[in-house]
Structure 1
Amino acid sequence: MRVEIWSDIACPWCYVGKARFERALASFPHRDSVEVVHRSFELDPDRAKGDTTPVITMLTRKYGMSEAQAEAAEDGVGAQAGAEGLEYRTRGRDHGNTFDMHRLLHFAKAEGRQDELIGLLYRANFAEEESVFDSDDRLVALAAEAGLDADAARAVLADPTAYADDVRADEREAAELGANGVPFFVLDRTYGVSGAQPAEVFEQALTQAWGNRSPLTVLSADGADACGPDGCAVPGA
């Protein structure tokens, strides 16, 4: 069975949702027969490369929050991340364009190291002090940590056309499937799970998708936490 996950490195609920899905997968009896593929979805595709802003500032502008409200929202996400055993820096993070990260993830997929790289990118963006938006050197170092050739990764980043079509194809397919926010999980093109659902929802979807082949049915509880072009769900809002 194949599970495709549309996500963005800038999406905190994708970070949390990945952990919840992996917890469900770990207890799934057929987990060794499940292939996980990460697909591209940009939350801020019009933002220019190098145009970064503090996350708290981005939240105040996007949602019309006060700084105190934005900080409280980040604290809420951080608490949910912490409940999944994830580190989450609620202050001092940047927000920026993620297109190059998606291109690098497609390169990693071709090399069989995609899951390793996306985990490192999430960790770097949400848990570490050094920004992933500052320079290509940071991304190259993460690629090397994921087991990729550093020179090859640098060459991908230096060529803006490398894997660009793959990113755009993923984004078109997300639109065709009706995904207007992330994370969005598609299980064997049979079931879709929208948002950072509880692990129990993923367990249900894995079980149903394993034994059933039918047109895509989206399992989406009201109020599921997700990120879309207009922003990310804010705890308590």
Structure 2
Amino acid sequence: MTTPPAGLRERKKQATREALREAALRLAVERGPDQVRVEDIAEAAGVSPRTYNNYFASREQAIVSAVTADREARIAAAVAAGPAGVCLADAVTEAVVEQYTNAGEREQRALLLITARTALRDAFLDATADIEPPLTAAIAERLGGAEGRTARVLAASVAAAVRITLEDWLQPAGNAEAVGAVGLVVPAGSLSDQLRATLSPLAPAFDAAERRARGGALERARGCTGGRQPQCAGQG
């Protein structure tokens, strides 16, 4: 999937977005998320509150964006760049697992902050919907452009699967009253294993789409991975 170079206007917008989300995370770490106002974030980034509102709908969205920034684009790029001999289902699964489990130290610290606040946690989960548009384009390209609506359905299904996995993975600690008071969550088990398990039921739909789009078989021996038992598209 080839992306044309961004123009000056787009580069300025991207720089502003990055400044806002970095300021939001820094202030949230320094002061605590509840002590950060939109006006504070805008001032720290050198823009007006009105400009801020052109990029983010809330402070939670800006703080979360510092962690999730460009993740959806990286997932789509990995799928689009994957070897043609690898099953599309496997390419999508590996891209999702890679981007959601290989966080650096900075992202891990920020995630602890986010998951300790209900509003931030909700915004983090909502951000999974951002996977759909770029992943739709990547899947459609892998299918040769012949399955536009199918690509959208598959991408939306992946986004839903990721959200469901994260909801289950971030388990509230203690009873409902304690959660409301302190907002603690306890990650439950291996995130990579849970992502693979939740995405696995989508594999037959991906395989069927490839079979229709390519009109032929994709041999598992040519590169399909992940240990799925169902055969790749075209093998029946």
Please tell me the TM-score bracket, short chain as reference: under 0.3
Give TM-score scaled by structure 1 length: 0.27
| Greater percentage in helix | 2
Query: Which of the pair is proportionally richer in strand?
Result: 1
Structure 2-normalised TM-score?
Answer: 0.27
- Higher CA-based Rg: 2
